[in-house]
C-alpha cells in the first residue's frame, strides 16, 4: 500500500447515533461553508469505524478516534502493521513491519482541515454539492499542492452537531491516485482519554 495513499486517512474522522450538541439553526441558515465550520467547532471528540479503499481495489478497515484540536488515531484491522496517530502537534505514520516512523506537523498534513476547528476553511474549500441530503466540499491548499484535492462529504442529520454528520472523504493526490474513506457507527462528544494518542515506537524495540 502506498504510504501517501495511507495519508488520505490523515483527516480526517457515516451512519449513526449521535450523542450531541444541538443543531445550530443559525449555521443551517447561513452559508454551507459556515455550517461546516460550525460542525467542526461543535465536535470535540468523535469515534467511528472506517473502511479505506485505494488503488487496486484493496480495502482496509479499522477504528477511528479523534479529539480536537489536533488528535487522531487510525487503528487498522488485525494483521495490518500500520498505525496513524496525531498527538496534537505531530502526525505520525508508523509501519511496524519495517520499524519505521514518518512524522509531520499537524498543520502540514492533509488532515489539517478536519483537525483544526478554529481555522478559516473558506480559503481552501468550496462547495461541490448541497441538497436536502448531502453537503460536499472540496478542499485544496494552494500553498501545499502536493496534498492534492480532498472531497469531504456530510449527511444532513438534524440531530448531529450543526445539522451535519461526517460520512467520509476522497483524496486524489498529484499522481491522480484516489483513496476513499467511509465512516460508520459515529459517536460524538464522548469521553476520550489523551492516552489514546500515544504509540509504541518500533524503533526502540530490540532485535
Q: What is the distance of C-alpha 73 from the center of its chain?
A: 10
Whole-prediction pTM: 0.81
Is it the case that residue 27 has pLDDT exceeding 90?
A: no
Instruction: Specify if 205 maps to a domain.
Output: no
Residue 29 in domain: yes
Question: Which residue is it, cell 508508523?
Answer: 94
Q: Which three cell numbers stand for residue 23?
A: 443543531
Predicted local confidence at residue 191, as pLDDT: 97
In this prediction, residues 78-107 reach a mean pLDDT of 92
81 or 57, higher pLDDT: 81
In a domain, 181, yes or no: yes
Q: Which residues neighbour 138 within 8 Å (Cβ) at sequence distance 6 or greater?
A: 125, 126, 128, 149, 150, 151, 152
Asked whether residue 152 carries a pLDDT value surpassing 70, the answer given is yes
List % helix, strand, coil for the chain (3-state, nearest 5): 20, 40, 40
Decide: residue 89, CB within 10 A, 0-12 exposed, 13-18 middle, 19+ buried.
Answer: exposed
Supply the pLDDT for residue 204: 83
- Does residue 206 form part of some domain? no
Q: Which residue has better confidence, 17 or 152?
A: 152
More confident residue, 88 or 141: 88
pLDDT the model gives residue 31: 92
Q: Over 50: is that where the pLDDT of 21 sits?
A: no
CATH of the domain at 21: 2.50.20.10
Across 186-194, average pLDDT: 96
**Structural domains of the chain, count:** 1
Instruction: Compute φ and ψ for 39, nearest 5 degrees.
Output: -60, -45
Instruction: Decide which of 48 and 55 is more confident.
Output: 48
Domain of residue 108: give its range.
3-194
Domain-located, residue 200: no
Amino acid at each position: 500500500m502506498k504510504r501517501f495513499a495511507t495519508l488520505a486517512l490523515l483527516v480526517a474522522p457515516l451512519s449513526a447515533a449521535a450523542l450531541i450538541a444541538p443543531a445550530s439553526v443559525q449555521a443551517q441558515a447561513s452559508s454551507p461553508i459556515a455550517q461546516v465550520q460550525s460542525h467542526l467547532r461543535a465536535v470535540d471528540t468523535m469515534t467511528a469505524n472506517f473502511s479505506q479503499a485505494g488503488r487496486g481495489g484493496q480495502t482496509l478497515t479499522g477504528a477511528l478516534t479523534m479529539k480536537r484540536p489536533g488528535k487522531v488515531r487510525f487503528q487498522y484491522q488485525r494483521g495490518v502493521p500500520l498505525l496513524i496517530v496525531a498527538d496534537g502537534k505531530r502526525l505520525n505514520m508508523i509501519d511496524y513491519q519495517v520499524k519505521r516512523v514518518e512524522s509531520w506537523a499537524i498543520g502540514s498534513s492533509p488532515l489539517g482541515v478536519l483537525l483544526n476547528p478554529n481555522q478559516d476553511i473558506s480559503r481552501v474549500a468550496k462547495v461541490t454539492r448541497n441538497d436536502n441530503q448531502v453537503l460536499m466540499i472540496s478542499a485544496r491548499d494552494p500553498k501545499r499542492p502536493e496534498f492534492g484535492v480532498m472531497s469531504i462529504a456530510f449527511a444532513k442529520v438534524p440531530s448531529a452537531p450543526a445539522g451535519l454528520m461526517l460520512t467520509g472523504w476522497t483524496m486524489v493526490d498529484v499522481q491522480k491516485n484516489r483513496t476513499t474513506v467511509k465512516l460508520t457507527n459515529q459517536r460524538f462528544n464522548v469521553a476520550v482519554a489523551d492516552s489514546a494518542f500515544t504509540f509504541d515506537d518500533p524503533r526502540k524495540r530490540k532485535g
